[in-house]
């Protein structure tokens, strides 16, 4: 279990791990490193303030695309008005398909931080199972091969602040339909081939697999931001599955 550095603007620095947060911290972020993500993985994060037995401060889930690469998964929370979070001990629980995956605690406002796994006097979450193996290894019969269709996923950021944008919509239009043609026809829904909406981390996963070597038009928009459209999006045979996009929007 890891806790990551943040700044006063709420940005998270995934390359820097911290052992406590100072007074006035507006955003905290927890996560973990993984070796791969199996198929049919849903991750849930639960934040508490003042003990695992308290009412959760924040709960959210995301369905993750399979990935056989090393990586880090994290989720942040912050005050909606940008004010400092309450001081004291904060706890987090991570679940993989409703089974407790990992958990940890950190102090905000000074004091020493002790890892939950090594501290006897911290009350652990009330769970029957604590299994890290599910998310770190594929089963022995897991196949790895290049498919004709791929998952398109990614993250949408604010181009100025680098903060993730929640509620952004990305659509891929039916092949041979350009954005201009779609707009001229008053945006008919039947011309949408695939799409997705970003969660609180700015992450999206398209709901229909995309064919390799087929050209699509991509349209990305969010309230308060300029629309982005690209008419020549194509996934080649050399690209891995899933395809991960990083998209920046500007007010």
Write out pLDDT tens, residues 143-187: 444 568 888 888 888 887 778 899 999 999 999 899 999 999 999
Q: Name the maximum alpha-carbon separation found in the chain.
A: 65
Q: What is the pLDDT of residue 194?
A: 92
Q: Does this model's pTM top 0.75?
A: no
Under CATH, to which class is 149-249 assigned?
A: mainly beta
pLDDT over 70 percentage in the chain: 84
Mean pLDDT of the chain: 80
Q: What is the pLDDT of residue 190?
A: 93
| pLDDT-based confidence at residue 110 (cuts at 50, 70, 90) | low
Q: How far is CA 110 from the centre of its chain?
A: 29
Structure confidence by residue, pLDDT tens digits, 99-108: 888 899 999 9
CATH level 2 (architecture), domain 2-136: Sandwich (2.60)
Contacts of 34 (CB under 8 A, 6+ apart): 70, 71, 72, 73, 135, 136
Lowest model confidence (mean pLDDT) among 3-7, 78-82, 126-130, 159-163:
126-130
* Distance between CA atoms of residues 71 and 35, nearest Å: 7
Q: Taking CA 12 as the corner, what is the angle to CA 75 and CA 98, rounded to the nearest 5 degrees?
A: 10
Give just the sign of the alpha carbon dihedral 9, 199, 31, 116. positive
Residue 195, beta-bridge partner list: 171
Whether 149-249 and 2-136 are alike in CATH topology: the answer is yes
State yes or no: pLDDT of 116 exceeds 70.
Answer: no
Which residues on neighbouring strands pair with residue 165, listed in sequence order? none
- pLDDT, tens digit, 9 for 90 and up, residues 46-98: 999 999 889 999 988 888 877 777 778 888 898 767 788 999 999 999 988 87
Domain ranges across the chain: 2-136, 149-249
């Amino acid at each position: 279990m890891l806790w990551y550095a943040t700044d006063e603007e709420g940005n998270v620095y995934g390359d820097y791990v911290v052992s406590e947060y100072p007074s006035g911290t507006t955003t905290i972020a927890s996560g973990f490193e993984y070796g791969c993500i199996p198929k049919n993985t849903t991750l849930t994060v639960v934040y508490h303030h003042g003990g695992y037995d308290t009412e959760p401060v924040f709960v959210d889930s995301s369905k993750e695309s399979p990935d056989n690469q090393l990586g880090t998964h994290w989720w942040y929370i912050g005050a909606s008005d940008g004010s400092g979070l309450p001081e004291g001990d904060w706890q987090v629980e991570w679940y993989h398909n409703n089974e407790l995956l990992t958990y940890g605690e950190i102090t905000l406002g000074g004091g020493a931080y002790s890892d939950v796994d090594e501290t006897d006097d911290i009350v652990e979450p009330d769970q029957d199972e604590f299994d890290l193996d599910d998310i770190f290894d594929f089963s022995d019969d897991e196949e790895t091969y290049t498919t004709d269709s791929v998952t398109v996923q990614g993250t949408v950021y604010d181009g100025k602040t680098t903060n993730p944008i929640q509620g952004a919509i990305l659509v891929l239009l039916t092949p041979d339909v350009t954005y201009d043609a779609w707009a001229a026809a008053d945006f008919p829904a039947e011309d949408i081939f695939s799409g997705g909406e970003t969660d609180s981390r700015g992450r999206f996963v398209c709901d229909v697999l995309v064919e390799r070597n087929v050209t699509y038009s991509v349209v990305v928009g969010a309230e308060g931001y300029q629309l982005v459209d690209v008419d020549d999006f194509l996934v080649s045979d050399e690209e891995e599955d899933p395809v991960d996009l990083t998209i920046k929007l500007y007010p």
